[in-house]
């Protein structure tokens, strides 16, 4: 049976970042991906925003890895000429109750280490975004956008240049602990022995851990919260990212620009029981109502159905936001097996900080 030092299961942005990090540290790494290419699931169905780290709870993994990850990501993009722009973001309060929340965001952001946030009055808001209606706003200059596909392609190239290997169209079906390592069986029956296995399968992480033989009492339930995006048919009226006050499960139906200048609105939050990326357009009036609170001139006819993405959640509907969960062999109760759960937003931003964390954890053994 073939023997491998490290197997990373899943080639989304976080899996690729971890694989690259371990290869750079001299480990012999194989990535196993069930799809025909890298980044075909959550990593290509998101807002492509580099978050600054405002919303996340004190001392959370999200707060730490988002703030550090944004720094690393801007530096990575700069040194490799990967398209990204630090265009800044406005979080807009549309009434005086919401204004209180902006103060709370400012305090939370500062506790998380986001140092450049500024509260704006209506005149200052109008100077930055004349089309946006609001009684106040929080300006986050360090928020930006990135071409996430170019980023993933770069991670993969650096991984391969450092002797990493990747196989596609190969799903990991099961795993079994042996005295020589974890025996992995692929969907086609092929078997492989690995010293270290890192489960970075996003929406499938709980299921994959169960199949690897991870102690079931340690595996969090992964729940799904789908988000829809509408693209805006007219020229963008905004030069910055524009966000409303966040909800518990998402950041509110916000306006983001991609690197080509295309404006899109979304995502909303729809809790679903099975993985399904279909787009139910019956919510268009809800979208329109939500957007008009901060962009009153919107014409609903300018909203065109775009795409959906699904957040892997480790909390249920109505509960406070969960944190990223990283389990080492101590927590999985399986020698050599690491697992990441609930890697929703800001996982793209945090990817290079998460990979450094995993690099330290794996290499200390």
Q: Which residues bind ligand FAD (CB under 6 A)?
A: 9-15, 32-35, 39-43, 45-49, 51, 171-172, 200-204, 208, 227, 267, 309-311, 343-349
Q: By C-beta, is 24 or 119 nearer to ligand FAD?
A: 24
Residue 98: φ, ψ to 5°: -65, -25
Least distance from ligand FAD to the Cβ atom of residue 217, Å? 21
CA–CA separation, 307 and 328 (whole Å): 34
The SS3 call for residue 175 is strand
Least distance from ligand FAD to the Cβ atom of residue 87, Å? 13
Least distance from ligand FAD to the Cβ atom of residue 237, Å? 20
CA–CA separation, 87 and 242 (whole Å): 11
CA distances to 89, 114, 262, 285 from 77, in Å: 19, 20, 21, 38
Q: By C-beta, is 50 or 120 nearer to ligand FAD?
A: 50
Least distance from ligand FAD to the Cβ atom of residue 67, Å? 12
Least distance from ligand FAD to the Cβ atom of residue 108, Å? 17
Q: What is the DSSP letter of 44?
A: G
Q: By C-beta, is 11 or 91 nearer to ligand FAD?
A: 11
CA–CA separation, 146 and 206 (whole Å): 29
CA–CA separation, 26 and 31 (whole Å): 15
Least distance from ligand FAD to the Cβ atom of residue 79, Å? 20
- Mark 18-37 as b/e (b = at least 16 C-beta within 10 Å): bbbbbbbeebebbbbbbeee
Least distance from ligand FAD to the Cβ atom of residue 53, Å? 10
Q: By C-beta, is 136 or 242 nearer to ligand FAD?
A: 242
Q: By C-beta, is 99 or 271 nearer to ligand FAD?
A: 271
Which residue reads 């707060």 in tokens?
Answer: 63
Least distance from ligand FAD to the Cβ atom of residue 102, Å? 20
Q: By C-beta, is 136 or 339 nearer to ligand FAD?
A: 339
Q: What is the DSSP letter of 40?
A: -
Q: By C-beta, is 220 or 309 nearer to ligand FAD?
A: 309
Does residue 313 contact residue 297 with C-beta atoms inside 8 Å?
no
Which residue number has the CB closest to ligand FAD?
Answer: 347
CA–CA separation, 8 and 194 (whole Å): 10
Q: By C-beta, is 136 or 321 nearer to ligand FAD?
A: 321
CA–CA separation, 164 and 359 (whole Å): 15
The helices-and-strands tally (H runs, E runs) of the chain is 9, 20
CA–CA separation, 349 and 244 (whole Å): 20
Least distance from ligand FAD to the Cβ atom of residue 159, Å? 13
Q: By C-beta, is 13 or 77 nearer to ligand FAD?
A: 13
Does residue 147 contact residue 261 with C-beta atoms inside 8 Å?
no
The SS3 call for residue 266 is strand
Provide the H-helix boundaries in 33-142: 61-80, 96-112, 122-128
């Amino acid at each position: 049976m073939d023997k491998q030092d490290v197997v990373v299961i899943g080639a989304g942005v976080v899996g690729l970042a971890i694989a690259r990090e371990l290869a750079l540290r001299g480990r012999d790494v194989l990535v196993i991906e069930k799809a025909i290419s890298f980044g075909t699931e959550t990593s290509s169905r998101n807002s492509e925003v580099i978050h600054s780290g405002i919303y996340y709870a004190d001392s959370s993994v999200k707060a730490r890895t988002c703030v550090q990850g944004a720094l690393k990501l801007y530096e990575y993009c700069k040194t490799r000429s990967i398209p990204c722009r630090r265009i800044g973001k406005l979080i807009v309060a549309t009434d005086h109750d919401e204004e209180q929340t902006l103060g709370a965001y400012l305090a939370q952001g500062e506790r998380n280490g986001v140092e450049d946030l500024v509260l704006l009055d209506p005149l200052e808001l109008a100077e930055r975004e004349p089309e946006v209606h609001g009684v106040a706003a929080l300006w986050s200059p360090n928020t930006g956008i990135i071409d996430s596909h170019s980023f993933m392609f770069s991670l993969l190239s650096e991984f391969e240049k450092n002797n990493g290997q990747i196989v596609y169209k190969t799903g990991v079906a099961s795993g079994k602990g042996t005295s020589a390592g974890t025996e992995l069986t692929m969907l086609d029956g092929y078997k492989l022995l690995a010293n270290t296995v890192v489960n970075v399968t996003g929406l499938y992480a709980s299921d994959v851990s169960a199949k690897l033989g991870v102690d079931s009492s340690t595996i969090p339930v992964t729940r799904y919260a789908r988000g829809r995006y509408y693209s805006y048919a007219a020229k963008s009226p905004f030069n910055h990212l524009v966000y409303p006050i966040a909800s518990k499960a998402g950041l509110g139906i916000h306006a983001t620009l991609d690197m080509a200048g295309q404006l899109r609105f979304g995502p909303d939050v729809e809790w679903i029981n099975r993985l399904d990326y279909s787009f139910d357009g019956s919510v268009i009036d809800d979208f329109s109502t939500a957007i008009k609170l901060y962009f009153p001139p919107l014409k609903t006819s300018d909203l065109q159905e775009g795409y959906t993405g699904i957040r892997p959640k480790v909390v249920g509907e109505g509960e406070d936001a969960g944190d990223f969960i990283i389990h080492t062999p101590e927590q999985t109760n399986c020698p050599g097996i690491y697992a990441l759960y609930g890697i929703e937003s800001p996982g793209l931003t945090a990817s290079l900080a998460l990979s450094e964390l995993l690099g330290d954890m794996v290499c200390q053994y």
